[in-house]
């Protein structure tokens, strides 16, 4: 599983990059707008935190293929490293993807809600497709089922495109996606934390501490 952090909050990125096996950061225009600060210093700081080898996915704000390609080149030039331009699925986006593929610029095709969109994006050369799990669940669409179908279709056609499931609102959605072989997920820091939290784990650790301290007090192993 490839874990990516879905935020532009620098404190959260710093924390999660240190404590979790993170492969990168994704943003979209809403996430950037939430940070409400200058665009370039923000994305350059994200790159500085995660380093050049981790993935940085930044979404284009352009609508036609030529402008999308130009913007992707500009962002890649400025942020460097492992960069993927996020492009919403559509005719112009597909045209841009085919051009970017030739230029060697990574593409994540986003705002995916159906397997037919995902397969078309993959055939155009997208490196990742990003289905929106929770937004599908919100309309009784079963986001995880859509992810499962996309994973299986990409496998059937031998596509190297990976599924980057997105738009999660709880840990169970991530768990279900992992169960159907989803290659990667992008989640908030809250969800990352939920994925490793369990009250039984807390109780087990409390029990170990109580038993140890009951016999050895404050001594640690190095004190013996
Ligand atoms: C990926 O980066 C998507 O843009 C994002 O996960 C969408 O999440 P939302 O449905 O919470 O806005």
Q: Looking at residue 14, which CATH number applies to its domain?
A: 3.20.20.70
- Our answer on whether the CB atom of 166 is closer than 6 Å to any ligand 1 atom is yes
Q: What is the DSSP string of 49-65?
A: HH-TTSEEEEE----SH
How many other β-carbons are positioned within 10 Å of the β-carbon of residue 213? 11
Average pLDDT, the chain: 98
- What are the catalytic residues? 86
pLDDT value, residue 50: 98
173 Cβ below 6 A of ligand 1: no
| Banded model confidence at residue 181, pLDDT cuts 50, 70, 90 | very high
Give pLDDT, residue 38: 98
Query: What mean pLDDT do residues 81-95 have?
Result: 98
What local confidence, expressed as pLDDT, does residue 189 receive?
98
Total tally of structural domains belonging to the chain: 1
CA pair distance 73, 92, nearest whole angstrom: 16
How much is the pLDDT for 53? 98
**Residue 31: its pLDDT value, please?**
98
For the CA of 28, the closest atom of ligand 1 is 4
- Domain range enclosing 32: 2-223
- Expressed in angstroms and rounded, the spacing between residue 167 Cα and the centre of ligand 1 is 4
124 Cα distance to chain centroid: 21
Q: Specify the pLDDT at position 133.
A: 98
Contact by Cβ (8 Å): 85, 76: yes
Please state the atom number of ligand 1 nearest to the C-alpha of residue 187.
6
pLDDT grade for 42, boundaries at 50, 70 and 90: very high
Going by pLDDT thresholds of 50, 70 and 90, the confidence category of residue 96 is very high
pLDDT band at residue 90 using 50, 70 and 90 as cut-offs: very high
Q: Is 134 in the pocket of ligand 1 (CB under 6 A)?
A: yes
pLDDT in tens, 135-164: 999 999 999 999 999 999 999 999 999 999
User: Is 137 near ligand 1, meaning CB less than 6 Å away?
Assistant: no
> What is this structure's pTM?
0.96
H or E element: which one contains 93? helix 91-103
- Residue of 16, 61, 14 whose CA lies nearest to 188: 16
- Structure token digits, residue 173: 């959605």
Tokens linked to 100: 């970017």
Average pLDDT on 190-196 reads 98
Q: What is the pLDDT of residue 145?
A: 98
Cα within 13 Å of Cα(208), Cβ side = 7
Ligand 1 centre from 156 Cα, in Å? 27
The residues with which 26 forms a beta bridge, in sequence order, are 6, 57
Query: Does any ligand 1 atom lie closer than 6 A to the CB of residue 59?
Result: no
CA 60 to centroid of ligand 1, rounded, Å: 14
Question: Among all chains, which residue has been given the structure tokens 């997105």?
Answer: 166
* pLDDT confidence band for 17 (50 / 70 / 90): very high
């Amino acid at each position: 599983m490839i874990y990516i952090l879905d935020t532009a909050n620098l404190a959260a990125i710093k924390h999660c990059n240190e404590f979790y096996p993170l492969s990168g950061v994704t943003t979209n225009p809403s996430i950037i707008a939430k940070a409400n600060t200058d665009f370039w210093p923000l994305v350059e700081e994200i790159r500085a935190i995660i380093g050049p080898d981790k993935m940085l996915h930044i979404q284009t704000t352009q609508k036609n293929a030529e402008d999308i390609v130009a913007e992707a080149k500009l962002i890649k030039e400025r942020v460097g490293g492992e960069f993927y331009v996020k492009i919403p699925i559509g005719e112009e986006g597909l045209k841009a993807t085919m051009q970017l593929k030739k230029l060697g610029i990574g593409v994540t095709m986003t705002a995916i809600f159906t397997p037919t969109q995902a397969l078309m994006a993959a055939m155009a050369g997208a490196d990742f497709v990003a289905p929106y799990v929770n937004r599908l669940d919100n309309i009784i669409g079963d986001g995880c089922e859509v992810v499962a179908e996309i994973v299986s279709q990409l496998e059937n056609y031998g596509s190297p495109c990976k599924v980057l499931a997105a738009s999660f609102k709880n840990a169970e959605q991530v768990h279900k996606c992992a169960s159907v072989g989803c290659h990667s997920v992008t989640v908030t820091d809250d969800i990352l934390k939920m994925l490793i939290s369990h009250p039984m784990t807390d109780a087990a650790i409390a029990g170990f501490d109580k038993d140890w301290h009951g016999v050895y007090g404050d001594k640690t192993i190095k004190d013996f």
